[in-house]
């Protein structure tokens, strides 16, 4: 009988999607499921992006350039300029989502068994991308007690070996919602310069910064011209997750030249989605102002309601639209499945993402869940009340 690869066996399941069959069964039983498990915004996609697709004049949906159309990349560069980030269109490669951007980055800078240091908890698919690339994730743990702030730089230095090629951060963070300060970015800049490493920043949630805080990009650090690689995407910014358009951005010419070879191997990013994404770049600031106001209200409602539940510990996010909550239970995987299979309040239940899958250290985060506050405030209140009742009845 043919055998599956070790890499295939080692590919982790998504902690976000692995419970989908249980949610589908709950639906079949007539239950309402409040989805707190996935970062799919319910915010409407900008009309300008939808119109660009419906009114296009293409007669053939042809390949685009492997690095994305020049017009689109020039427009992306102008977008960055508005955020005090100065790059040329030649510093940008358009990818099929931020996921492909990460895969191209891993493939371009790391060989099999090389190492990448990542503060955890981190976006669960980093584990999958590293496995697919034959790369070892070396975690440095950030703690809920510190609101998931950057761990001390000394903790990073302890982990650096001859195999270390990069440090990867998500800013603002998925799953924590933590927004790194300028000072924290500058600490990371010093250590990657000192050890001649790449600093990869997943900045797909750049717009979502709250309470007067400002996002600070690694591309704003002049010292990181050769070290900085940014992963970006239209998915969350414009509520266009299904467009699957992302980009790699770096001033390191050798890196971009190398990543382009990976881009050429997969031919080109999707043509129609580029049309929609290029149009989305003309979205007015008022759209983001309204969206941010909405997410701040949702966050405040969620945190307030969670803090009413005895035994819960929750970190307050300053960006993105996620938070980590620590529950008075032992196994969040079991709890999440139990919620869908065996519990409801008047025919309603909740789907959450167990947080252990956002760590690479074994047996860490077992009693934590990630909550995405992408539902309306009334739904969030209902969902947290269901969670509160569930914790009263759950026996483990």
137-142: Cβ within 8 A, 24+ apart: 137/360, 138/164, 139/359, 139/360, 139/361, 141/359, 141/361, 141/364, 142/176, 142/178
Over residues 273-299, mean pLDDT: 96
Over residues 200-212, mean pLDDT: 96
pLDDT at 16 over 80: no
Percent of the residues in the chain that have a pLDDT greater than 90, as a whole number: 95
Query: 139 forms bridges with which residues in the sheet?
Result: 118
pLDDT at 71 over 90: yes
Q: Cα separation of 105 and 228, whole Å?
A: 11
pLDDT band at 396 (very low <50, low <70, confident <90, very high): confident
C-alpha separations of 174 from 92, 96, 122, 189, 376 in Å: 23, 20, 6, 21, 20
pLDDT at 233 over 90: yes
Say if pTM beats, i.e. exceeds, 0.75.
Answer: yes
Q: Cα separation of 192 and 184, whole Å?
A: 13
Over residues 266-286, mean pLDDT: 97
Q: Say which DSSP state 37 is in.
A: S
Q: The tokens of 256 are what?
A: 């971009």
Q: Cα separation of 20 and 26, whole Å?
A: 10
Reported as a single tens digit per residue, the pLDDT across 209-221 is: 999 999 999 999 9
C-alpha separations of 70 from 102, 142, 255, 264, 367 in Å: 21, 40, 19, 15, 47
Structure confidence at residue 40 (pLDDT): 87
Q: The tokens of 138 are what?
A: 């070396």
pLDDT at 162 over 80: yes
State the chain's mean pLDDT as an integer: 96
Over residues 232-244, mean pLDDT: 96
CA 323 to chain CA centroid, nearest Å: 12
Structure confidence at residue 221 (pLDDT): 97
18 SS3 class? coil
CB 176 within 8 A of CB 315: yes
CB neighbourhood size of 111 (10 A) = 11
Domains, the chain, ordered by start: 6-44+286-393 (3.90.1150.10), 47-280 (3.40.640.10)
Q: Cα separation of 223 and 221, whole Å?
A: 5
- Residues 171, 87, 203: CA angle, nearest 5 degrees: 10
Q: Cα separation of 18 and 131, whole Å?
A: 18
CB 243 within 8 A of CB 204: no
CA 142 to chain CA centroid, nearest Å: 17
pLDDT at 85 over 90: yes
């Amino acid at each position: 009988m043919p055998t599956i690869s070790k890499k295939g066996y080692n590919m982790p399941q998504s902690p976000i999607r692995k419970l989908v069959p249980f949610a589908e069964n709950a639906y079949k039983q007539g239950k309402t499921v409040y989805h707190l498990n996935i970062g799919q915004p319910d915010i409407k996609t900008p009309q300008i992006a939808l119109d660009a697709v419906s009114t296009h004049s293409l007669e053939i949906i042809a390949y685009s350039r492997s690095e994305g159309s020049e017009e689109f990349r020039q427009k992306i560069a102008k977008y960055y300029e508005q955020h005090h980030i100065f790059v040329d269109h030649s510093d940008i490669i358009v990818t099929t989502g931020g996921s492909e951007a990460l895969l191209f980055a891993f493939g371009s800078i790391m060989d099999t068994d090389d190492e990448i240091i990542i503060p955890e908890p981190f976006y669960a698919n980093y584990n999958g991308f590293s496995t697919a690339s034959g790369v070892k994730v070396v975690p440095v743990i950030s703690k809920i007690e510190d609101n998931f702030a950057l761990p001390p730089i000394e903790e990073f230095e302890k982990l650096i070996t001859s195999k270390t090629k990069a440090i990867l951060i998500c800013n603002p963070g998925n799953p924590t919602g933590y927004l790194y300060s300028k000072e924290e970015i500058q600490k990371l800049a010093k250590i990657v310069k000192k050890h001649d490493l790449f600093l990869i920043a997943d900045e797909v949630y750049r717009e979502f910064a709250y309470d007067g805080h400002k996002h600070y990009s690694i591309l704003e650090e002049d010292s990181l011209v050769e070290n900085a690689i940014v992963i970006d995407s239209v998915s969350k910014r414009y509520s266009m997750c299904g467009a699957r358009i992302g980009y790699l951005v770096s001033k390191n010419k050798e890196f971009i030249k190398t990543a382009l070879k990976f881009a050429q191997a997969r031919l080109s990013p999707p043509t129609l989605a580029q049309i929609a994404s290029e149009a989305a770049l003309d979205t007015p600031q008022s759209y983001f102002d309204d969206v941010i106001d909405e997410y701040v209200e949702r966050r405040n409602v969620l945190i307030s309601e969670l803090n009413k539940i005895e035994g819960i510990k929750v970190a307050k996010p300053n960006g993105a639209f996620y938070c980590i909550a620590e529950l008075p239970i032992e196994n969040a995987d079991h709890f999440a499945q139990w919620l869908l299979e065996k519990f409801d309040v008047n025919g309603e239940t909740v789907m959450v993402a167990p947080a252990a899958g956002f760590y690479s250290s074994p047996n860490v985060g077992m009693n934590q869940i990630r909550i995405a506050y992408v539902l309306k405030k009334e739904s969030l209140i209902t969902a947290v009340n269901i969670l509160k009742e569930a914790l009263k009845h759950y026996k483990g």
